[in-house]
Amino acid sequence: MTSLIAYCRSGYESDTAKELAERTAQQNIYGYPIFRPNQGFVEFPFYEPPSETFISNEFDVKNTIFPRQLIWVIAVLSDLEPSDRISPILNEVTKHADKFGAVWVEYPDTDEGKGLAKFCRKFAVPLRQALRKENYLTKQEKLLYPVLHVFFTDFNTCKLAISYPHTRSPFELGVCRLKFPSSAPSRSTLKLEEAILTMLNDSERRLVFRAGARAVDLGACPGGWTYQLVTREMYVEAVDNGLIDEKLMATGQVAHFAADGFTYRPQHHKVDLLVCDMIEQPDRVAKLMGDWLVTGRSLHAIFNLKLPMKQRYETVSQALLSLKSRLVKLDDQFSVKARHLYHDRDEVTVTVVRQS
């Protein structure tokens, strides 16, 4: 395999390209990005094929920032006949030893790409049947097997690619869709929910979200993030000059403080979790988060870094680097992850979990 495709949010192709180039070069693997602005993905051909270990174990999308999904290209099919798109796909699949646990028929997450959504959904049904008949696909969906991606860029062109269980996003298109909880006060709630579900592993979730634990929410109003903490039975100090949702206050689990998030101190000196969604400069927020973690004012932190218009990858990398350089001097170990989540817009979400 000599080419990788990374799905990303439309408009974030150049940040994704820079990240792919930097991360692969760190492993002495070299290639170059190909993309058009706003196409929702980046192709990355390599000069030399990376090792199987790199592909299936080491290059994990969950450790990247901007890619939503990483898939490894095995063939590009163009001029497909509308009357039979399946035979050429089967032809290519025959050349590969893998048995697949699922086939995902996908398209770029762009306005143009969404025009392919209905076709992809329909096409997946006969394709799945044909792959099962030839024994290339497991009878039940098994995500511990490789997944075959059929990525359509128009009705007659698709790229066939493979993803692996340890390094892929478990979601089709790399998109974690969540239902908006009707009693949540703002759609922002989905950003924190997605972070909790996709960026933390089971033991981290149990460690951070304990019933009865205390949290501070900086820039809390109207209360979408506080809502996530309250539903997990935590007690929250919600800090913001704005208005907080009445229903949240009625739970008895929330205390509202109309104060500046940069100077606020927790009521009982320290908390289990600090969350922060203030619209502020990313370096200022990263410094503030570092201050709380280094002084032990909070054990863990989840926060958003709002992105500038340009140099977004560099800005996030710099903010993370300065945060990590402060944490590394402490006795405790920290797991730090940053992801451009589906529910994020011009921002990335960072989780910092102190390992016990």
Ligand X SMILES: C[S@@+](CC[C@H](N)C(=O)[O-])C[C@H]1O[C@@H](n2cnc3c(N)ncnc32)[C@H](O)[C@@H]1O
The yes or no reply on residue 291 touching ligand X (CB under 6 A) is: no
The yes or no reply on residue 282 touching ligand X (CB under 6 A) is: no
Comparing CB distances to ligand X, the nearer of 221 and 234 is 221
In this structure, are residues 23 and 30 in contact, taking their beta carbons and an 8 Å threshold? no
Q: Half-sphere exposure of 179 toward its Cβ, with a 13 Å CA cutoff?
A: 3
| 113 backbone φψ class: left, alpha, beta (φ>0; ψ -120 to 50) | alpha
Least distance (Å) between residue 77 CB and ligand X: 44
The yes or no reply on residue 131 touching ligand X (CB under 6 A) is: no
Catalytic residue among 142, 270, 306, 324: 306
- The helix or strand, by DSSP H or E, that contains position 150, with its residue range, turns out to be strand 147-154
Ranges within 175-234 binding ligand X (CB under 6 A): 185-186, 188-189, 218-225
CA distance 34 to 37: 10
- Whether 306 is a known active-site residue: answer yes
Q: Is 224 known as a binding-site position?
A: yes
The yes or no reply on residue 260 touching ligand X (CB under 6 A) is: yes
Q: Is 174 known as a binding-site position?
A: no
The yes or no reply on residue 242 touching ligand X (CB under 6 A) is: yes
Comparing CB distances to ligand X, the nearer of 48 and 260 is 260
The yes or no reply on residue 278 touching ligand X (CB under 6 A) is: yes
Residue whose CB is nearest to ligand X in the complex, by number:
224
Helix axes 312-327, 282-294, angle to 10 degrees: 10
What does the H/E/C string look like for 226-281? HHHHHHCCCEEEEECCCCCCHHHHHCCCEEEECCCCCCCCCCCCCEEEEEECCCCC
- The helix or strand, by DSSP H or E, that contains position 206, with its residue range, turns out to be helix 202-208
Among 33, 146, 174, 261, binds ligand X (CB under 6 A): 261
Give the residue numbers annotated as catalytic, written as ranges: 306
Annotated binding residues for S-adenosyl-L-methionine: 188, 221-224, 240, 260, 277
